[in-house]
């Protein structure tokens, strides 16, 4: 066992998979420059020394190199393509949505695209265009699997599952959770380190994880908001509220089995999402819960999300933009307080 | 059949024009567009190009002599039985083409033409679903390029992919079945006209987003290079695709990494209804290759053997680590962009000129002039093709349609969506 941050765990995971399978390679901008950064957040640092032929450093051409990754994947390679910032996925989205996600279906199952895509997201003092929570734009794309990692153990295990999966998998990572070091350290970073086993392991791509058991309310969140939700749950114990916290983790498909088990137990749900409320992943989850578990709900599902605005720069505004622990606490109080209950019909 | 090469009207004063030197010799096979001689007018020195391909039979004006505009300079054509030969860069004849190869190339082109014409009639009859983007008039580009590829080489195509698919070896049946939405189609009815493909035949499904296949082909070539498989990918796209950012991004990477990819721009002058000179200042697409540091070449895309020879050279370069190559094939779409497009944006004169330059007619004339092939051979090929297509049409009309359960399959590998 060793304690690692997400960046290190991903790096080890990539290296181990490259050792395990010659078809695995990395492709992206600034990922393999001696003396460089190892990608924007140090994940691939030094890998070019170990795998000089399989660390493909590209021009700044997201549409192009995501297409290159799709083509290589269709010919049997297992590329790991990363963007420096999730916001750049818009440039690559034609290749991701029109080609990677659809190729299998429109070929009648005869083609496959075993492609891993990694994208850092989250508001981190960089203004509007290096900050967006991109999950919402890809969770409604049939053919894609979308996951979000919140700790180092999952990072490595999910990455390995994604590499070994025969579908395109988009992994969202949060800039404040990487634990990047040196010149790439992030101010405001949160500890997301884990004990990492020495043996090979994988974490499934389609399962939510119970992070804190509780009986009064279910808090669903992922990435940075998971950590905020755990803080909120800890605070709520002082008020006698036992919040159960689930790391949704698998954003497409959503693990309604695990979510449902919790909802059936608590009957109350708060979904927390960084990113604008309108059209968010939380909207989909709320609707999915309504459709499946309405009879178990003791109160309407509440969402905590960012306002419907671009991400601001000024730290004061950015902190107001991002959902806070206090807002989550408030939402849980609202959903668990008796007068907040909706009128319920008998029978 | 022979063609007379006449002195063009180059002089502004009507004075005689002096022949400086011949660039080819009697007996050479010359290609349409090839410079045959240098001449000198009162203003300048310039080249005279061949207007037809064929064997140079006679030179009627010697170097140093003068000729007036309109005077016959040479006789081209009436090739002998052995004269349909490859031409080297210098224009000198090399080994002759194999007769079976020539007939097979002819058969492939005619198969595409007959297939497309039949599909159009099926569509207009209203019994075939969907929309169609056809390639009548562009048969030589698909056939010439694919003939230069090996079976395990790959192609990528566009929404106008029927010709590419037939040229790469997909069967009439699997394509017609696909067009009818049948489960027996090459994509089990889930792809349709715009996504024809069959991995086993070396063709990924057509990518119907303009230029979307260019980065994908580049990635396929990267895979071939990383695995040292010696495979090549030919990436078909139209002149319209050149304006997309995907073209720029992908060819830059292909050049940077010397990838085995042949970029084939079928320049048919129109992106949908918009003429090429309305969307690019430099309408010579092959010029772009130089700016990325690799070789580009413009070829008469209606001259099957010119396409084939250029593709063979390019494929060889790709296979030996000297790729990529950009081939610009000048051709013309004789049918609408899609469905019932009446092509009012094309002038009658332009359409007539290109009709007279039909790749199949030209090739047939060359074959007949070559003497190895007679009209009976060609008629026999046509009969077989028509029979093959009609049989396939009848079968496709009653081919099994997908079950409704098939709706939800093939979305994900190793498990179906919830």
* Contact across the interface for B222 and A66, Cβ inside 8 Å: no
Distance CA B106, CA B139 (A): 10
DSSP 8-state secondary structure symbol assigned to residue B149: S
CB of A285 closer than 8 Å to CB of A259:
yes
CA-based nearest distance A288→chain B, Å = 12
* Contact across the interface for A61 and B253, Cβ inside 8 Å: yes
Contacts B204 to A, Cβ<8 Å: 74, 103, 107, 111
Helices B375-397 + B172-179 axis angle, to 10? 40
- Using the predicted structure, report yes or no on whether residue B48 has a pLDDT greater than 60: yes
* Contact across the interface for B212 and A67, Cβ inside 8 Å: yes
pLDDT band at B95 (very low <50, low <70, confident <90, very high): confident
Query: What pLDDT score was predicted for residue B81?
Result: 41
* Contact across the interface for B212 and A98, Cβ inside 8 Å: yes
Contacts A79 to B, Cβ<8 Å: 219
Contacts B223 to A, Cβ<8 Å: 71-72, 75-77
* Contact across the interface for B411 and A53, Cβ inside 8 Å: no
Chain A: residue whose CA lies nearest to B227: A23
- Using the predicted structure, report yes or no on whether residue B31 has a pLDDT greater than 80: no
- Using the predicted structure, report yes or no on whether residue B407 has a pLDDT greater than 90: yes
Contacts A73 to B, Cβ<8 Å: 219
Question: Which of A77, A107, A170 has the highest number of chain B CBs within 10 A, making it the mutation to test binding with B?
Answer: A107
Distance CA A156, CA A179 (A): 14
Out of A66, A106, A256, the one facing B191 most closely (by C-beta) is A106
* Contact across the interface for B413 and A143, Cβ inside 8 Å: no
Out of A54, A61, A143, the one facing B412 most closely (by C-beta) is A143
Chain A: residue whose CA lies nearest to B193: A106
Comparing CA positions, the residue from A263, A331, A327 lying closest to residue A302 is A331
CB of B37 closer than 8 Å to CB of B43:
no
CB of A186 closer than 8 Å to CB of A204:
no
Distance CA A275, CA A221 (A): 12
With vertex at residue B102, the alpha carbon angle to CA B308 and CA B23, rounded to the nearest 5 degrees, is 55
> Choosing from A130, A244, A273, A274, which is the catalytic residue?
A130
Question: Among all chains, which residue has been given the structure tokens 């067009």?
Answer: B179
Name B66's Cβ contacts closer than 8 Å, sequence gap at least 6.
B16, B17, B18, B19
CA-based nearest distance A254→chain B, Å = 9
Contacts A139 to B, Cβ<8 Å: none
DSSP SS3 for A247? strand
- Using the predicted structure, report yes or no on whether residue B309 has a pLDDT greater than 80: yes
* Contact across the interface for B212 and A142, Cβ inside 8 Å: no
Out of B204, B220, B245, the one facing A72 most closely (by C-beta) is B220
Question: Which of B222, B324, B402, B416 has the highest number of chain A CBs within 10 A, making it the mutation to test binding with A?
Answer: B222
A328 touches chain B (CB under 8 A): no
Query: What pLDDT score was predicted for residue B415?
Result: 53
With vertex at residue A236, the alpha carbon angle to CA A235 and CA A237, rounded to the nearest 5 degrees, is 90
- Using the predicted structure, report yes or no on whether residue A200 has a pLDDT greater than 70: yes
Tokens describing residue B304: 């099957």
Query: What pLDDT score was predicted for residue B82?
Result: 43
- Using the predicted structure, report yes or no on whether residue A222 has a pLDDT greater than 80: yes
pLDDT band at B1 (very low <50, low <70, confident <90, very high): low
> How far is residue A70 from each of residues A80, B12, B225, measured CA to CA in Å?
10, 57, 15
Distance CA A71, CA A25 (A): 13
Tokens describing residue B348: 């009658």
- Using the predicted structure, report yes or no on whether residue A330 has a pLDDT greater than 90: yes
- Using the predicted structure, report yes or no on whether residue A86 has a pLDDT greater than 80: yes
CB pairs A-B closer than 8 Å: 155
Tokens describing residue A81: 């393509």
DSSP SS3 for A257? helix
* Distance spanning both ends of chain B, measured CA to CA: 67
Contacts B207 to A, Cβ<8 Å: 98-99
Q: Answer with the residue of higher pLDDT: A292 or A345.
A: A292
CB of B148 closer than 8 Å to CB of B308:
yes
A78 touches chain B (CB under 8 A): no
A111 touches chain B (CB under 8 A): yes
The A residues from 50 to 69 touching B (CB cutoff 8 Å) are 53-54, 56, 58-59, 61, 63-69
Contacts B224 to A, Cβ<8 Å: 75
Contacts A74 to B, Cβ<8 Å: 204, 216, 219-220
Instruction: Please name the residue ranges forming H helices in A147-245.
Output: 152-164, 223-236
CB of B64 closer than 8 Å to CB of B22:
no
- Using the predicted structure, report yes or no on whether residue B382 has a pLDDT greater than 70: yes
Name B282's Cβ contacts closer than 8 Å, sequence gap at least 6.
B288
Q: pLDDT tens across B391-406, in order?
A: 999 999 999 999 999 9
Chain B: residue whose CA lies nearest to A169: B412
Same fold, A2-196 and A209-340: yes
Contacts B175 to A, Cβ<8 Å: none
- Quick one: A2-196 is in which CATH superfamily? Thiamin diphosphate (ThDP)-binding fold, Pyr/PP domains (3.40.50.970)
Cα atoms in the 13 Å half-sphere on the side-chain side of A307: 9
CA-based nearest distance A219→chain B, Å = 23
> Choosing from A8, A29, A48, A62, which is the catalytic residue?
A62
Chain A: residue whose CA lies nearest to B418: A253
Which pTM was predicted? Answer: 0.87
| Phi, psi dihedral angles at A240 (to 5 degrees) | 80, 15
Q: Is B314 exposed, middle or buried (0-12, 13-18, 19+ CB in 10 A)?
A: buried
CA-based nearest distance A114→chain B, Å = 9
The residue-averaged pLDDT of A106-134 equals 96
- Using the predicted structure, report yes or no on whether residue A250 has a pLDDT greater than 90: yes
pLDDT band at A347 (very low <50, low <70, confident <90, very high): very low
Buried b / exposed e along B277-299 (16+ C-beta atoms within 10 A): eeeeeebebbebbeebebbbebb
Which range is least confidently modeled, A254-258, A320-324, B338-342? B338-342
DSSP SS3 for B341? coil
> How far is residue A182 from each of residues A42, A179, A188, A194, B390, measured CA to CA in Å?
9, 10, 15, 20, 70
The residue-averaged pLDDT of A60-76 equals 98
* Catalytic status, residue A62: yes
With vertex at residue A117, the alpha carbon angle to CA A116 and CA A120, rounded to the nearest 5 degrees, is 140
Out of A68, A79, A166, the one facing B413 most closely (by C-beta) is A166
A110 touches chain B (CB under 8 A): yes
DSSP SS3 for B156? strand
CA-based nearest distance A1→chain B, Å = 32
DSSP SS3 for A287? helix
Beta-ladder partners of B312: none
Comparing CA positions, the residue from B199, B207, B391 lying closest to residue A67 is B207
Tokens describing residue B349: 């004169």
DSSP SS3 for B246? helix
- How do the residues of chain B divide into helix, strand and coil, expressed in percent and rounded to 5? 40, 20, 40
Name A289's Cβ contacts closer than 8 Å, sequence gap at least 6.
A256, A259, A260, A263, A269, A297, A301
* Contact across the interface for B212 and A94, Cβ inside 8 Å: yes
Question: Which of A25, A68, A116, A288 has the highest number of chain B CBs within 10 A, making it the mutation to test binding with B?
Answer: A68
Comparing CA positions, the residue from A319, A317, A151, A324 lying closest to residue A235 is A324
Chain A: residue whose CA lies nearest to B407: A105
State ipTM: 0.95
Contacts B185 to A, Cβ<8 Å: 108
Question: Which of B413, B414, B416, B417 has the highest number of chain A CBs within 10 A, making it the mutation to test binding with A?
Answer: B413
The residue-averaged pLDDT of A223-241 equals 98
Mind listing the domains of chain B with CATH numbers? 2-90 (2.40.50.100), 99-397 (3.40.50.970)
A1 touches chain B (CB under 8 A): no
pLDDT band at B69 (very low <50, low <70, confident <90, very high): confident
The alpha carbons of chain A give a radius of gyration, in whole angstroms, of: 20
Query: What pLDDT score was predicted for residue A339?
Result: 58
Out of B185, B191, B220, the one facing A71 most closely (by C-beta) is B220
The residue-averaged pLDDT of A300-327 equals 97
Chain A: residue whose CA lies nearest to B223: A72
CA-based nearest distance A277→chain B, Å = 25
Distance CA B172, CA B129 (A): 17
Sheet hosting strand B72-77, strand order edge to edge: B2-6, B72-77, B54-59, B29-30
Domains of chain A: which residue ranges? 2-196, 209-340
Q: pLDDT tens across B335-379, in order?
A: 889 878 889 999 999 999 999 999 999 999 999 998 889 999 999
CATH class of the domain at A209-340: alpha beta
* Catalytic status, residue A195: no
CB of B220 closer than 8 Å to CB of A71:
yes
Distance CA B219, CA B215 (A): 6
DSSP SS3 for B155? strand
Other CB atoms closer than 10 Å to residue B403's CB: what's the count?
Answer: 9
Q: How far is CA B379 from the centre of its chain?
A: 23
Query: What pLDDT score was predicted for residue B96?
Result: 84
Out of A59, A111, A114, the one facing B252 most closely (by C-beta) is A59
């Amino acid at each position: 066992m060793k304690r690692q941050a997400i960046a290190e765990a991903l790096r080890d995971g990539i290296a181990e998979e490259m050792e395990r399978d010659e078809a695995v390679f990395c492709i992206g901008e600034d990922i393999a420059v001696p003396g460089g950064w190892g990608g924007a957040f140090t994940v691939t640092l030094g890998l070019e020394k170990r795998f000089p032929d399989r660390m493909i450093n590209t021009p700044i051409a997201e549409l192009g190199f995501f297409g290159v990754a799709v083509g290589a994947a269709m010919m049997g390679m297992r590329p790991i393509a990363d963007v420096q910032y999730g916001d750049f996925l818009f440039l690559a989205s034609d290749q991701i949505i029109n080609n990677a996600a659809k190729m299998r279906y429109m070929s009648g199952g005869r083609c496959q695209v075993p492609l891993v895509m990694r994208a850092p997201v989250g508001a981190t003092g960089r203004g509007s265009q290096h900050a967006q929570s991109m999950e919402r734009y890809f969770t409604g794309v049939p053919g894609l699997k979308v996951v979000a990692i919140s700790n180092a153990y999952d990072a490595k295990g999910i990455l390995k599952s994604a590499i070994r999966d025969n579908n395109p998998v988009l992994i969202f990572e949060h800039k404040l959770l990487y634990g990047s070091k040196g010149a790439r350290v992030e101010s405001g970073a949160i500890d997301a380190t884990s004990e990492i086993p020495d043996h090979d392991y994988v974490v499934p791509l389609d399962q939510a994880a119970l992070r804190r058991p509780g009986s009064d309310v279910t808090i669903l969140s992922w990435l940075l908001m998971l950590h905020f939700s755990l803080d909120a749950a800890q605070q709520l114990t002082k008020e006698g509220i036992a919040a159960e916290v689930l790391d949704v983790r698998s954003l497409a498909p959503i693990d309604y089995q695990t979510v449902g088990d919790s909802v059936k137990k608590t009957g109350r749900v708060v979904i927390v999402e960084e990113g604008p409320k309108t059209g968010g992943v939380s909207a989909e989850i709320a609707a999915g819960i309504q459709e499946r578990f309405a009879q178990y709900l003791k109160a309407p599902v509440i969402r905590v999300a960012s306002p419907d605005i671009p991400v601001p720069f000024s730290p004061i505004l950015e902190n107001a933009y991002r959902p806070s622990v206090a807002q989550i606490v408030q939402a849980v109080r609202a959903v668990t307080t008796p007068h907040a209950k909706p009128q319920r019909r008998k029978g | 059949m022979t063609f007379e090469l006449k002195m063009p009207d180059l002089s502004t004063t009507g004075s005689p024009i002096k022949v400086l030197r011949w660039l080819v010799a009697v007996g050479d096979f010359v290609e349409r567009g090839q410079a045959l001689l240098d001449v000198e007018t009162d203003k300048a020195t310039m080249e005279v190009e061949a207007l037809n391909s064929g064997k140079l039979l006679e030179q009627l004006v010697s170097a140093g002599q003068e000729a007036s505009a309109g005077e016959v300079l040479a006789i081209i054509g009436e090739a002998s039985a052995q004269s349909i030969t490859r031409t080297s860069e210098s224009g000198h004849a090399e080994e002759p083409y194999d007769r079976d190869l020539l007939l097979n190339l002819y058969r492939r082109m005619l198969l595409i033409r007959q297939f497309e014409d039949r599909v159009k009639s099926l569509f207009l009859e209203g019994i075939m679903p969907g929309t169609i983007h056809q390639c009548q008039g562009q048969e030589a580009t698909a056939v010439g390029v694919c003939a230069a590829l090996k079976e395990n080489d790959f192609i990528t195509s566009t929404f106008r992919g029927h010709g590419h698919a037939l040229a790469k070896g997909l069967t009439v049946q699997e394509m017609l079945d696909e067009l009818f939405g049948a489960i027996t189609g090459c994509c089990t009815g889930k792809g349709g006209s715009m996504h024809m493909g069959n991995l086993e035949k070396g063709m990924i499904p057509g990518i119907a987003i303009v230029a979307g296949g260019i980065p994908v082909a580049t990635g396929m070539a990267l895979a071939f290079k990383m695995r040292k498989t010696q495979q090549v990918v030919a990436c078909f796209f139209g002149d319209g695709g050149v304006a997309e950012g995907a073209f720029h991004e992908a060819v830059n990477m292909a050049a940077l990494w010397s990838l085995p990819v042949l970029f084939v721009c079928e320049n048919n002058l129109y992106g949908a209804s918009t003429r090429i000179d309305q969307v690019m200042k430099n309408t010579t697409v092959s010029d772009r290759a130089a700016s990325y540091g690799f070789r580009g070449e413009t070829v008469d895309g209606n001259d099957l053997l010119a396409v084939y020879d250029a593709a063979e050279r390019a494929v060889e370069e790709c296979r030996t680590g000297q790729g990529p190559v950009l081939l610009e094939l000048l051709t013309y779409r004789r049918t609408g962009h899609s469905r019932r497009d009446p092509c009012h944006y094309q002038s009658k004169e332009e359409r007539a000129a290109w009709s007279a330059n039909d790749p199949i007619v030209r090739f047939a004339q060359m074959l007949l002039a070559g003497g190895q092939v007679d009209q009976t051979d060609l008629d026999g090929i046509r009969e077989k093709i028509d029979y093959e297509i009609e049989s396939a049409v009848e079968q496709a009309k009653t081919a099994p349609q997908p079950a409704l359960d098939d709706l939800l399959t093939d979305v994900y590998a190793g498990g179906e969506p919830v």
